[in-house]
Homo-oligomer: A and B are copies of this chain.
C-alpha cells in the first residue's frame, strides 16, 4: 500500500478523535478507540498522526529476560527504537499490564530525536517526568518504574497486535489528541480524513450556535432548516 499521503496527514491533524470514531462507526467499525491509555504530555505537543509500527510483548520469563537481552541489536524492542520510521508511531501491545514499563527516557528521547511521530503503549512507562517534556506525544497505561524485563518480553515487531483492546495492523493510521488515540484502518484513512474535516467544520459552527444560545433540538442533528442555514454560512464564508 502506498505511504500515507501528506494531504491526509494534514487533514487528520485538524480533526479530533471523537469525530474520527464517528466516521469509522459510519463505516461499520465500532472498536477503534484505545482503552485505558492517557497522554503524558498533552500540554507540550499537538495532535499525533502517523502510521503504526507495532511491537509485541508477552510475559517475561526469568531465564530469558533481563538487562542483558538488550545488547542484541535484533532484539525486537531495541530494533523498533532504531528502525521505527520517522513520521510513524511506535505502538506496543503489553496486554494492558502496567506492572512493568515498555520504555524510558533514553529510548523515548531517541525515538523523538529520530523524528518518530509518537508512542502508544497499554503497558507502563518509566522516567515519565523526562518523557513529559518531549515534544513527541506519548500515551501510556500508567507510570511504572520497573524496566520491561521485569514483566514483558518483546517477541515481534511489525505484526498485528492488540493495544488497549483494539486491533492494530501495521500501517494503520493512529491519531491522538487529549481524549486519546483512535486506530484508522489504512485503506480508510483518506476518505475518513476528508469526511472528518467536513464534520468538524459543521460541528464547529454548531458549537458557535450553541454558545450563542440556540437549542440543540433541530440543530444537532440538523433538521432541514439548520442544513439551509449552515449552507448559507458556508457560502458566506467562502467555503462552499
Residues on A lying within 8 angstroms of B by beta carbon are: 16-18, 20-22, 25-33, 35, 38, 58-63, 66-68, 70-71, 73, 78, 81-82, 95, 98-99, 101, 104-107, 109-110, 113, 126-130, 143-147, 149-150, 153, 155-156, 159-162, 165-168, 177-180, 182, 185, 203, 206-207, 210-211, 213, 215-217, 220-221, 223
Contact = CB atoms under 8 A, between A and B. Distances in A.
A215 B25 contact: no
B216 A33 contact: no
Contacts of A16: 127, 145
Closest 8 A/B residue pairs (Cβ): A17-B145, A18-B126, A21-B146, A58-B162, A18-B145, A143-B179, A155-B160, A129-B178
A32 to B, nearest CB: 7
14 contacts: A18-B101, A18-B127, A18-B145, A18-B147, A22-B147, A25-B146, A33-B146, A58-B160, A58-B168, A60-B167, A82-B217, A109-B210, A113-B213, A126-B179
Nearest to A153: B167
A211 B214 CA distance: 51
Contact of A70 (B30, B106, B221): B221
A231 to B, nearest CB: 18
Nearest to A166: B59
Given A18-B104, A58-B161, A106-B203, A33 B211 contact: no
Contacts of A206: 106
Contacts of A207: 105-106, 109, 130
Given A16-B127, A58-B160, A178 B143 contact: yes
A126 to B, nearest CB: 4
A7 B130 CA distance: 26
